[in-house]
Each structure stands twice: as structure tokens, then as C-alpha cells.
Structure 1
Amino acid sequence: MLNKFFYNLYKNQFSLEETTAIYLNLFTNILIISVIGFILFKTIRFFGRRVIQKIINKTNTQFDDMLVKNRVFLNIARIIIFIITLNFLKELLVDFPNVYNYTERLITIIIIFSVIWFVRSILLSVKDFLRTMDAFKDKPLESYVQIFMIALWLIAIILSFSVLTGKPLLKFLTALGAFSAVLLLIFKDTILGFVSSIQVAVNDTVRIGDWITMEKYGADGDVVEINLTSVIIRNFDNTVSSIPTYYLTSDSFKNWRSMNNSGGRRIKRAITIKINSIRFLTQEDVDNFKKIALISDYITKVSNEVNTYNSENNIDKSTIINGRNLTNFGTFRVYLDKYLENHPKINQDMLLMSRQLEPTPYGIPLEIYAFSKEKGWQEYERVMANIFDHILASVPYFNLEIYQQPSSLDIQQMNNQLNDKTS
């Protein structure tokens, strides 16, 4: 027998003692098997790489590239070597039954965890491959891989303890049932995260790449990862927020995806008009407003209607409040509607208006409600700023004033004017 070859050599040829010959035989066999195993491992790996690389070069799919990237074939080679070692182990340690028992258990445990590592590399390869498909780019695949791996690691640990102690697997499963409450407590966040990730995927509430806002946790940015325990958000200030996954179902948040998929991003901003600057239009005002291109036709048409109505009804216009009248505020609202309708960056197929809000102690808010075609943050802000630049510059042309709290300079100028009048 091969395992006795060196034993007979040491004992018969070199006339060594029984015990010495046994230990030297064991050492020599271990050394030879280790060298053979190392050479076999390198050979399998070398030829495996060459053959696999040739196959990869001939295929169009990227899946085989993912298998190589995640070391699937390397893990297969390891499992093969450990299985071969386990088969030779009994012959190798025939003179050491106790050592054989413990070594066999140790190698069996190593094989179990090597298989787990192999399965992990397969799952990672599948995940990476699915990420190349448009249908799965924004799905929380990491969560499913993690929960599957947790289950496999638990099985591997139970099997390892069973192998290590030599006790039946059923006893460990029974003991595990007794500790289930403890396990549920330990893995509470993991279980909640898993359930939440399933709800998120099924209900399609959040995808990778979505812009979400969770003011409660100071998160405002793009989702870069959804895993079993946390959602990673890259905020617009280049900080990173990590939020537990189950908060996506237990707390409220804002997802801007539907806005990105729609025809425009909403503009909803107001300026405040001083109430005492609002008045009826005189004929001189009407003549001046007819010179404004956007509302020239409107002013002509409506002023004629007003004059016809007042004339037919014998309205006394010596007092301007009598009859029908145009106001500078109403005319300004019409001007803003026309301005927005002709703006190239405003989506004309979506709701568009200027509206008067409820009066406040500071004046009457005039709100612009429209949708910008530009949805990116930077471009959107530019469009909105340009619109309100024009609005603020247009207000004086309609003899209106925007409310602004007086500064110290305003008060000083007012005092100087009063002093000039009294002097």
C-alpha cells in the first residue's frame, strides 16, 4: 500500500524504530500529498483559465465574464482539492485513528464553507449579470443575495457544529427552535430590512438612481444602493446618508421619479404686491399698455368691451369706480400668463397660470404656477430665476410695488426727506 511504502523503507532499509518510522511515514506522506495537491490545484487553475478564456472569447454573453470576475472556477478547484484530500485522508492517517477523526471533521467543515463560498460567487455573478439588463438596473438585488447568504451561513454553521460534535443534525435543529426568540431579536433589523426590500421592489416605491428626500433624516439625493439593512443615498452636497431599509415603509419620504418621468418640473413661487399700489386704469394707462406687445391685443379688445358696456348702460365715469374698469393688477396677471405661454422653457401642455392668493399683512401674494421643461436641478433653477428676474423688472411698468421690509437706509432716507420738508 502507498501509505506503508515509506514506513517499510524507514523501518527495513534504515532500521528505524517502530514509532519513529510511523511518524516519519506520516510526515513524508503529508508532504507528498501537499505537493501533489498544490501542483494539481495550480494545474486545474491554469488549464481551467486557458480553456475558460477561450470559451469566453467565443461567446457574446457577459455572464461567463462575471463568473471569472467572482472566482467561481477558483472556488470549484478548491472544493475538488479538498474532496480529493478527504478521500486520501483515511489511508494517510491509518495509524492515527483519533487524529483522522478530528482531521476528517475539520476538512468536512472546510468543504461545507467552500461550497457556501462557491454559491456566493454564483449569486454575485448572477447579480452582476442582471445589473447589465435595463429591467434589473434599479432593483434591490443586493437584498435578495444577502438574505439568501444569511440563510446559507446559518445552515453551514449548524452543519459544522453537527459535524464537529458528531451529534445528529436533528438535535441542533431542536436547540435552534429553543433559541428562535433570541435569533429573532438579534436579526430584527435584518428581517425588517428584508421584508421592506420586498415591499419596495413589489410596490416599486424606490429604485436605484431615484432622487428621494427624507427631511427627517437630512437625506436629499440619489439612491446608489439598496441592501438588506440600509439604503445608501448620495446627497447633493456630496455627503452620504445611510438609512435603515425598513424606514422606507415605516416613514414618509418624497420620491422625485414621477417628476423626472413627466413632461416638466413644477414652478410654484410667489411675489408679494403692496395692496395700496393696486388701482383702476385710466385712459392714459390703457393707451400706454397698448404699446406692450404681449397684451396689446388683449388691452384693445377688453377696453373696447368695457367702454361699450359703460356707454350702453349710461355709466357716469366722472367717478372712476363706476361701471366696469380694468385694474393694473389684473392686467399684470394677464401679462404674466401671456409671458409664460410664450416662454420656450415652459411646457405648454401642462397646467400654467398666475394666481392671486389670500391677502396677508404684507400684501397680496401673486403666485406663478407652471412646469419647466428643464428638470435637472441646475437648469431648472436657471429657468425659474430668469422668469422671476423678468417679473420683478416688469412690476414697475404696471405701477405696482413689491413689498419689502424697510432697511436702515430706507428709514434714513425717509428721515432726510422729512427734515428737508420741515426746513
Structure 2
Amino acid sequence: MEKTDIINIAAQQTSALYDWTFNVIQNAGVSDKLAHIVTSASLLVVAFGILYIVNFIISAIFNSVLTKIIKKTKTNWDDFLLKNKVLNKLSLLILVIIAQQMIPFIFVGFPNFTTGLNKFLNIVVILSVYAFINSLLKTGRDILRTSKAFVDKPLDSYLQVVQIFLIFVIGTLIVSILTGNSPWSFLVSLGAASAILMLVFKDTILGFVASIQVSANDSVRVGDWIEMSKYGVDGDILEINLNNVKIQNFDKTIVTIPTYTLLSDSFKNYRGMQDSGGRRIKRSIHIKISTIRYLTEQEIDELKKIKLLLPYIDKRQKEIDEYNSQEQVDSSVLVNGRRMTNVGLFRAYILAYAKHNPNIHQAMTLMVRQLDPKEHGLPLELYMFTNGTNWGFFEDVMSDLFDHLFAAIKYFHLEVFELPASDDLRHLLAEGNLISAGQRSADN
């Protein structure tokens, strides 16, 4: 027996039930119009009673039996069914479908009302189907998030694309039901308005393209630390949606930017630094140029007491002595030949200290170099990487390193450049006053 035959039989039985009820009420001396109203009301009460019983049975099965089974299982995917209320949406869909099959036959005596009611119930069924499918999609998203392959992928963007497509299909079906026209005629009319639709959904389309590009190129993931100064972004990505990206800055503020800006604007991603295991130190010590000079033998002997510097001084001194001996250098003039300078030994000490520091990454670039001398002195730049990427660890290592170097620089008869402070000016003024007072005393 085909489905249409079953529906026709059910319709005949329901119509017979309506006619029987109508005849019983009419025989009681009720007018035809009132008899139709009482018949529909009576059958409506019966229908609600049936729906209540069905709802009770479904709830007992879903909430009592299936829920307990799901909670006892060791798998996680079925827990997401409860989280996204898939069973609730399914029970609602079942009730709506049963109501759709029952209620129109209750109002047999009101054909105009039945037509509108059928349209309304068809729309409710479509919306219930969408709610059920949407819950399943959310469940699929949550299940994929538990996989390492998808934990950093913009799954919300893909979900929203599917949701937009479903909403478009549902909207087409609803308009078709309300107008009584074929869905294809509605789609043809939309073709003429495609330019307007492109303008309305411009950000959504750009966001969708950006999400695909970002995922395909693996340029950014959920959890990455990115920096975009233009938008005040400096923190970790919490979520990548179809229309926007949510970032939590390190001051705990939340910034949202359009997804397509990840393609249209440049940004800095610190994932490479975090994956490498080392974080770069790139900071300079500005040496006061007037304190740079050659070292005397006594000063060199004194610096040999520094354990880290002794091997370098011995090796360097041997090279210098051999060169000066071969060239027969006149040592009475210091500029002749080759000699050690305080800034050179200080640079060698910094390098040796860094190579013996367990918190400095020895497998990455490690050097101390001179930059162009400027109005703020001679910059000695430390270019190296810490042996870890944690922010607090990085700051501690860098602070300890420069604490030591600032304290050690005086042993090399060097000074760090500083702009004149108020105390310096007062000191110069006091010295000038003393000189003037001494000259006046001498004149007297």
C-alpha cells in the first residue's frame, strides 16, 4: 500500500469521525453553525489530549531512558547531543508532524480556515526541521573540536556558512508556501536581485572567503598570539567566526575585528616563535663614546681575574703580540699596531656570559654587535634568544642579563650614556661657582 493511499484512508476515517460527532451534536437540537464549532472544539480537545500523551511518552523515552544511557557511556560525542538539545528538538519535530496530520481534519467544517492552518503548520514543520538540523550541526562542530586535527580550525565559520545556506533554503520554501508559487520561480526572481544581495552580504562573503584562505594557508589558528597595532590587537585568538575574529588582549580586554581584515591587512603571528622554543632578545646598551679607549697592561691583568674573560684575553693577547712583533710596531704610540680596547673586551665578555647562561638558547643566533654610533653614544646590541617562550620567563631572563651587565660595565672603565639630568646640571653649576670663587680669591 502506497503512502498516498494510507493518507487518504486516514483522511476518510478522520472525516467520518468529524461527521459522526457533528451528527451527534446536531441531533441534540443544535444549529448547523454552532454544531460545526462545537464539533471542531471537541475534536481539538481530543487532539491536544493525544499530543499530551505522545509528548509524555516521548519525554519518558528521551529524558529518562536515552539520557541515562548517554550519561553512562564513556564516549563524548553523545554528550554533545544533550548539550545541544538534539533530543528536545527531535521530540518537538515529532509532535509538530503529528499535529500537522491531525489538526487540519478537525476543522473540516471550516475549509477557508483549514487552508491557512495548513500553511501555518507547514511553516512550523520547516522551522522545526531547521532547528533539529542546526542542533545536529552544532553537535558535529563540538565533536570535531575534540580532534587535534580540527581544534585550531575556524569551525564556527563553516557552521555559519551552512546555517546561512539552510536559512536561504527555508526562506525560499516559506515564501513558496505563502505565495503558492514554485520555489524555482522565487529563485529566478532572486537572480535579478543578485547585485543587491551581493551588496547586502558583502561582509559575509568576504568573511567566508577569508575563513577558507586562512584555513587553507594555515596563517592563523584559534589560540595564536597575533598583533595588529592598527586595531589595538595584541593577544590570543579566542574565536574565528564568519564575520569577525575575537581576540583577548593581554590586559584581558576583548577586541573583535572583521574576518576579512586577516587578508586585507598585515598582522604579526607569534606562533613561529612559540613553536621554535626561543624568544628573541634584541636590546642595546648605549656606551658613552668619550669613555672608549685602549687598555693598559695593568688594566688587562686586572681583567684577567674575570674567569669568563681569561681564555679570550690570552688568545687575543697572543695574536696581538705576534702581529706587533712581525710588523715591528712602535709601542710608544698606542695607536700603532693592534691593542685591546675596553669596549672590545666588554663585548667579548657579554658574548661569553651569554654562552654560559643556561637560560639563553645556544642553538639559535647569539651575537653581540655594534650599531651605528649616534647622538646617544655607541649602541652595543645583544641579539640572542631565551631558552623558553613564556612571557614572564622571557622578561626575567632579559632583566637579569642587563642587571648584571649594567653592574659589570664599570670594571671595563666604560660608562653608559645618559642624557643630562637636573643633578648633573646642578653639579656643573656648583663647579663653575667654585672656579669663579677661586679666581676671585687669586685676584685678591
TM-score bucket of the superposed structures, by smaller chain? over 0.9
Map 1:221-370; keep pairs closer than 5 Å. 221-370=235-384
Alignment equivalent of 2:387, drawn from 361, 373, 378:
373
CA 1:313/1:91 → structure 2, altered by over 3 Å: closer, same or farther? closer
The answer to whether the aligner puts 1:206 opposite 2:225 as a matched pair is no
Structure-2 residue corresponding to 1:131: 145
Structure-1 residue corresponding to 2:184: 170
What does the per-residue CA deviation read over 1:141-166, in whole Å, with 9 as the maximum and x for residues that have no partner? 00000011011001101100101111
Which residue identity is paired with 2:19?
A: K
What does the per-residue CA deviation read over 1:256-279, in whole Å, with 9 as the maximum and x for residues that have no partner? 001000020000011111111111
Structure 2: gaps spanning 5 or more residues? 1-15, 438-444
> What is the deviation of 1:8?
2.8
What does the per-residue CA deviation read over 1:378-403, in whole Å, with 9 as the maximum and x for residues that have no partner? 22111111111111111111111111
Please say if residues 134 and 163 of structure 2, whose CA atoms lie closer than 8 Å, have aligned partners that are also in contact. Answer: yes
The answer to whether the aligner puts 1:188 opposite 2:202 as a matched pair is yes
> What is the deviation of 1:5?
4.0
Q: Counterpart of 2:323 in 1: which secondary structure? A: helix
> What is the deviation of 1:57?
4.3
Q: Which moved more, 1:339-348 or 1:174-183?
A: 174-183
Structure-1 residue corresponding to 2:95: 81
Which residue identity is paired with 1:89?
A: I
How many residues align? The count is 422
Structure-1 residue corresponding to 2:26: 11
Mapped partners of 1:345, 1:242: distance in 2? 36
Mapped partners of 1:205, 1:285: distance in 2? 55
What does the per-residue CA deviation read over 1:204-261, in whole Å, with 9 as the maximum and x for residues that have no partner? 1111000000011111000000000000000011111100000001100000001000
Q: Which moved more, 1:368-377 or 1:54-63?
A: 54-63
Please say if residues 386 and 394 of structure 2, whose CA atoms lie closer than 8 Å, have aligned partners that are also in contact. Answer: yes
Q: Counterpart of 2:309 in 1: which secondary structure? A: helix
Please say if residues 47 and 103 of structure 2, whose CA atoms lie closer than 8 Å, have aligned partners that are also in contact. Answer: no
Map 1:1-150; keep pairs closer than 5 Å. 1-12=16-27, 14-57=28-71, 59-150=73-164
Q: Which moved more, 1:217-226 or 1:317-326?
A: 317-326
Structure-2 residue corresponding to 1:151: 165
Please say if residues 248 and 254 of structure 2, whose CA atoms lie closer than 8 Å, have aligned partners that are also in contact. Answer: yes
Structure-2 residue corresponding to 1:387: 401
Which residue identity is paired with 1:11?
A: Q
Length-normalised TM-score, structure 2: 0.92
Q: Counterpart of 1:184 in 2: which secondary structure? A: helix
| Structure 1 runs (4+) greater than 6 angstroms displaced | none
> What is the deviation of 1:89?
3.1
Please say if residues 286 and 303 of structure 1, whose CA atoms lie closer than 8 Å, have aligned partners that are also in contact. Answer: no
Which residue identity is paired with 1:257?
A: R
Identity within the alignment, %: 44
> What is the deviation of 1:92?
1.2
> What is the deviation of 1:54?
4.2
Mapped partners of 2:237, 2:325: distance in 1? 66
Mapped partners of 1:170, 1:243: distance in 2? 37
Which residue identity is paired with 2:176?
A: S
Q: Which moved more, 1:137-146 or 1:378-387?
A: 378-387
Q: Counterpart of 1:271 in 2: which secondary structure? A: strand
Please say if residues 273 and 366 of structure 1, whose CA atoms lie closer than 8 Å, have aligned partners that are also in contact. Answer: yes
Which residue identity is paired with 1:10?
A: I
Which residue identity is paired with 1:6?
A: T
Which residue identity is paired with 2:372?
A: E
Please say if residues 104 and 117 of structure 2, whose CA atoms lie closer than 8 Å, have aligned partners that are also in contact. Answer: no
What does the per-residue CA deviation read over 1:106-148, in whole Å, with 9 as the maximum and x for residues that have no partner? 0001111111111100000001111111221111000000011
Q: Which moved more, 1:370-379 or 1:44-53?
A: 44-53
Please say if residues 340 and 346 of structure 1, whose CA atoms lie closer than 8 Å, have aligned partners that are also in contact. Answer: yes
> What is the deviation of 1:408?
1.3
Q: Which moved more, 1:297-306 or 1:179-188?
A: 297-306
Q: Which moved more, 1:219-228 or 1:77-86?
A: 77-86
Q: Counterpart of 1:126 in 2: which secondary structure? A: helix
> What is the deviation of 1:58?
5.3
